[in-house]
Structure 1
């Protein structure tokens, strides 16, 4: 009688928290850009950009290979570029510079959503369980926006939660993608398709803790 081989032990789950801002803008050229500026993360401080062109090509611009590996295994891209990145973020503007992308964003006033987010105690706002409340609200108030979901398929499938703590509108944008001017500021249309959630249609910057479960 052949013994049944033991089942492999399940891999332990690991949650990684990234604290920073997500800035999403559209442009009259049709190119949409999402910049993540992460002050604290398991990979240290860094900034990356997700670019979707008018023809739907999705490109990740990452400052290091370890960042590229994690982000590209969590979201969907047609191309990944590891390039030197310089990013400066202050309350009223953000700049991102790499060989492929030059971007300057003017950040405006706090939105009504931002005031509502600030009223929630931070430990509650950043907890993954709180997305059970915020996800239904986001679906109604911000078309295409989700605060919880799954990314990837098969063994690489992961769960992710967005705990937002503030929200500001974006008033202006200027820059170039591959040397071609982006044009002026426009809504994020069509929605970006990197993962389960898009940026809000109205260009904005969100203070957020993104939690990824490996």
Structure 2
């Protein structure tokens, strides 16, 4: 059966007019407690992981592919009334504004949460996700041979972006295009925040 680890939280994926694409994971529950991390791909294709601890860096870097790993604190501060997030680290400062639930989010809300977040549902959803959301996979095999399942339970649109990476302005919000090249699955092309339960199964 393997050993299962479960992570519950949300993932924000955004593109920018500077060409930088950012994926932020904000996790309420995990084997490491609550934490946030960020994956950044620059316009030139340089892939950077920002991780708050060696344990998180080891897990994420053995799952996805990066050209550079930086150990630094990553903090996420919610904006009032659920209007968005502010993400802060020594390398990255970004604020995203949230809009309403997307059509996919409305559909996911009809699925019982226990089912929507399960590996079984992620397996069933994977063929649909591949067709409907370019570059997105809801299950796959990571670099270390672990099996990963992404069970989405809600999706909200990101409507605005402001911030910097390594001191350079990100510019305005744009689709996540081209897709990020971190691993077997990318974030959706439409900037969004996805509520998700991630299950990792190791041998």
- Asked if these proteins are the same fold (TM beyond 0.5), I'd say yes
Q: Hey, what's the Cα distance between the residues in 1 that align with 2:31 and 2:183?
A: 21
Alignment RMSD (CA, Å): 1.0
| Aligned position for 1:8 | none
| Aligned position for 1:108 | 99
Q: Hey, what's the Cα distance between the residues in 1 that align with 2:181 and 2:146?
A: 16
The question of 1:144 aligning with 2:135 is answered yes
| Aligned position for 2:171 | 183
| Aligned position for 1:97 | 88
**Structure 1: stretches of 5+ with no match in the other structure:** 1-11
| Aligned position for 1:49 | 38
Q: Hey, what's the Cα distance between the residues in 1 that align with 2:62 and 2:124?
A: 27
Q: Hey, what's the Cα distance between the residues in 2 that align with 1:146 and 1:78?
A: 22
Is the Cα–Cα contact under 8 Å of residues 73 and 89 in structure 2 kept in the other structure? yes
| Aligned position for 2:10 | 21
Larger radius of gyration, structure 1 or 2?
1
Q: How far did residue 111 of structure 1 move?
A: 0.4
CA offset digits 1:176-214 (Å, max 9, x no partner): 000000000000011001111111001000000011112
The question of 1:31 aligning with 2:35 is answered no
| Aligned position for 2:159 | 171
CA offset digits 1:91-123 (Å, max 9, x no partner): 221111111100100011000100100100011
Q: Hey, what's the Cα distance between the residues in 1 that align with 2:125 and 2:88?
A: 33
Is the Cα–Cα contact under 8 Å of residues 7 and 197 in structure 2 kept in the other structure? yes
TM-score (norm 1): 0.91
| Aligned position for 2:149 | 161
**Structure 1 stretches of at least 4 aligned residues deviating more than 3 Å after TM superposition:** none
| Aligned position for 1:5 | none
TM-score (norm 2): 0.96
Match of 2:49 among 60, 63, 70: 60
CA offset digits 1:13-32 (Å, max 9, x no partner): 21111000000000000000
The question of 1:192 aligning with 2:180 is answered yes
Q: Hey, what's the Cα distance between the residues in 2 that align with 1:107 and 1:139?
A: 25
- Residue-pair matches, total: 200
